[in-house]
Structure 1
Amino acid sequence: MWALLATVAVVAVIGIVLTVTLSGRGHHDTAKPAAKTATSTTASPSPEKPPVPVSKLEGLLPRQEALAGAVADPELGLVMSGEAMDEVTVVDTDCQGISSVASGPVYAGSGWTSIRWQRWYSPPDIDTPELKHGLLVSVVMFPRAEHAQAFYAKQSDRWKRCAGRTMNMTVTNGDNEPRVFWTTTEVTESDELVKTTAISEGGGGWSCQDALTIRNNVIAQADVCGNSMPANAAQDILNGITSKVDAAG
């Protein structure tokens, strides 16, 4: 996801190719659609609240005014959405969960059942050569809260091991893909929300706030990219999603 935004001039959508990696100048953005089904698992229900039903999944995504408010940019508009994982693989596979909000390889074997994701741009043009902000938001549903918790714990550990690294996010299953590198800052975690910032190599100050959280049987992720944005934009977006999960459960 990061790959396209790092080189905004090459943002393109061809056929049914998905673009669900980071919205940054350099986050890989071309992702082939993968199957929406996932491995089945069985477990006892959450001891606290019943799982959020799949019928509520779409409604968990933020509205335009919430996203625009988070980045202080009223021009933000929806340019793409989907309900499938991507199939993209990158060189640094252990850090791929940071760079993609809907990565099939990252979620493989986790037991996920459904996903909804959105891409928002300012200005709201998928081919804009002068991107001010790029946002990617996803909500992923699991059968039970414990399945989502297991995925979150695994990703939190992986994110922390990627802290302070220069990550090679070059796509490995494409043709003539540009070399893409991002450097992560410190990875922090609080109240089951893990976050970091990734800075694009050669991006002229372009960076992405990346955050992942869990609530009940739902994993939510936000990648918020730009040259300038409020310090807690990604976290604020996810806090809005978790409030919706609480209301839906």
Structure 2
Amino acid sequence: MKSPFDLHGRCAVVTGAGRGLGQAIALGLARAGADLVLLGRPGAQKSTEGQVADLGREVEVVDLDVSDHEALERVAAEVNSNRQVDILVNNAGIIEREDSVDVSRQSWNRVLDINLNGLFFLCQAFGGPMAERGHGKIVNVASLLSFQGGLRVASYAAAKHGVAGVTKALANEWGPRGVQVNAIAPGYIATDNTTALRADPDRSRSILERIPAGRWGDASDVAGSAVFLSSAAADYVNGHVLVVDGGWMAR
């Protein structure tokens, strides 16, 4: 009997797969059997490309700045013309830390353009054909800051709250058409985005004291959740923001 988590015969588009969460998710999907299209900055995804190929899966790398929405539309049209995209994982994102009174218009727009606006237009570009076919999975990468305000990250918190809202709105609209739209909210994971926190002894200690698991998460800790939400095992899961945080929110 075929496993409900089996993704053989499926094509997944993953953004920002060059490192960290995006790379771990891409490799998790590949291990489950999916073929991959990796969208991201030029030259940033060669390592992931090689690792996916080593797993025996088909992989294509396409250069894309997610904040360039005209390029996004063009790239998505090209991918859709060549493949049937069954899964979209919106992982690409940035974080800029500074006091809210010092946030420039350029910085605010940069974070929102990548983390929220680009995510929405990718959902639109790939989710529309999914809805027409009556089948598809979209997994957005949200954050604990989809629920909280954080410190000195107003633009990031705004964007990630927006990701949760977009996820639920699209689930309502596309669920009746066979497309499940969900999100993963990673906790404190040891990636480039948390380097500053891990380098601050006081912040790192206070964070670890609240996590029942007693450790920072690893990017691989998120991969299984992405596979689940991309698979038939999650056919009745829709509009959900799945927290993967070692128990942080339970405190």
TM-score in terms of structure 2 length:
0.28
Which structure has the highest helix share of the two? Answer: 2
Of the two, which has the highest radius of gyration?
Answer: 2
